[in-house]
Amino acid sequence: MIGQDLDAPALSLSAFLRALRERQSPAEFGLAAGARRRTPGLRREEVAQLCGLSVTWYTWIEQGRDVSVSASTLARLARGLRLSRAERSYLFEVGGKRDPERPGHRDDPPEEVLACVDAIDGPAYILDRTWGARRWNAKASRLFAGWLDADGEKNLLRYIFLRPEARTLILDWTSRAQRVVAEFRAAVTAYSDDPDIRRLVEELRVGSPDFERCWETQGVLAREGGERAFDHPTMGLLHYQQVSLSLAGWSDYRLTMLLAAPTIRNR
């Protein structure tokens, strides 16, 4: 019996595909609505044709059979059914596969989203997929001498490992640098085939023995907040609480805020 072959993930994918099919308008795909249609939306054979799949294979997927659905099959379904970015992301989520095209990563956040750093009362910046700074506020520019205060390279990893200013600015540079590399490795695992990421890693491995050492430890850590301390050449010793958040709708972009740390008084 078909019911004996069902599992929870397959049922989630099955229910989503059936709902998608039933709410599609045949006319939007150049298909005649016809008076003889007994079900709303598209027929299974029409979905299969639109997506370049066999009718039997699509039927099994929609029935929730215990079959292995590849990422390429999910991509065909997404293209054929003209899914939105959110729908495509959900399709791959319930299908248990990584989206090879990562549609959410192709688009940059709009100007009004990037401009949110100007409303933050503390140094703040937004990093992209390769950890290049895409936007920062005036306080971040003043704090990060040699990185955000001048024209030129804006990649955080290049700054930390290739610029001498970083080693004097960041207190406990060695441990912070090792953690940053572990956070970067965790963040880009899904993009191991991205040529920009690969070029950056190879460049840093060649140009910085410290990066090479950190990279070879295979450390993997989530990018989290916490206490951060800096020894600024003009502002002196500074302490902050770092908060990092992914931008909703643009998961490749991460907002980092350095908020004033509570003052500790000696008793």
User: For residues 120 and 132, what is the distance between their CA atoms, to the nearest angstrom?
Assistant: 20
Query: Quick check: 45 pLDDT over 70?
Result: yes
User: For residues 158 and 146, what is the distance between their CA atoms, to the nearest angstrom?
Assistant: 11
The string of pLDDT tens digits covering residues 77-104 is: 999 999 887 788 888 888 888 887 764 4
Q: Say what the pLDDT of residue 153 is.
A: 81
Q: How confident is the model at residue 266 (pLDDT cuts 50, 70, 90)?
A: very low
- What are residue 267's DSSP bridge partners? none
Q: Say what the pLDDT of residue 103 is.
A: 45
Q: Say what the pLDDT of residue 107 is.
A: 65
Strand order in the sheet with 250-260: 133-136, 124-127, 250-260, 236-247, 226-232
Nearest Cα neighbor of 137 from 127, 148, 147 is 148
Q: Say what the pLDDT of residue 7 is.
A: 55
Query: Quick check: 2 pLDDT over 50?
Result: no
Nearest Cα neighbor of 261 from 239, 238, 229 is 239
Q: Say what the pLDDT of residue 96 is.
A: 85
User: For residues 200 and 180, what is the distance between their CA atoms, to the nearest angstrom?
Assistant: 14
The string of pLDDT tens digits covering residues 4-44 is: 444 555 678 899 999 989 888 888 888 776 656 677 788 89
Give phi and psi for 35, each to the nearest 5: -80, -15
User: For residues 245 and 182, what is the distance between their CA atoms, to the nearest angstrom?
Assistant: 17
The string of pLDDT tens digits covering residues 220-233 is: 888 777 899 999 99
The string of pLDDT tens digits covering residues 128-185 is: 989 999 999 999 999 998 999 978 889 999 999 999 999 999 999 999 999 999 999 9
User: For residues 73 and 211, what is the distance between their CA atoms, to the nearest angstrom?
Assistant: 39
Which residues fall within 8 angstroms of residue 211, CB to CB, at 6 or more apart? Answer: 157, 161, 177, 181, 204, 205
Q: Say what the pLDDT of residue 33 is.
A: 64
Residue-wise burial string across 90-103, b where 16 or more C-beta atoms lie within 10 A, e elsewhere: bbbebbebebeebb
User: For residues 226 and 243, what is the distance between their CA atoms, to the nearest angstrom?
Assistant: 7
Query: Quick check: 195 pLDDT over 70?
Result: yes
Q: Say what the pLDDT of residue 104 is.
A: 45
- What are residue 113's DSSP bridge partners? none
Residue type, 103: P
Q: Look at 121 and 1; give whichever has higher pLDDT.
A: 121
Q: Encoding tokens for residue 267? A: 């008793």
User: For residues 99 and 74, what is the distance between their CA atoms, to the nearest angstrom?
Assistant: 8
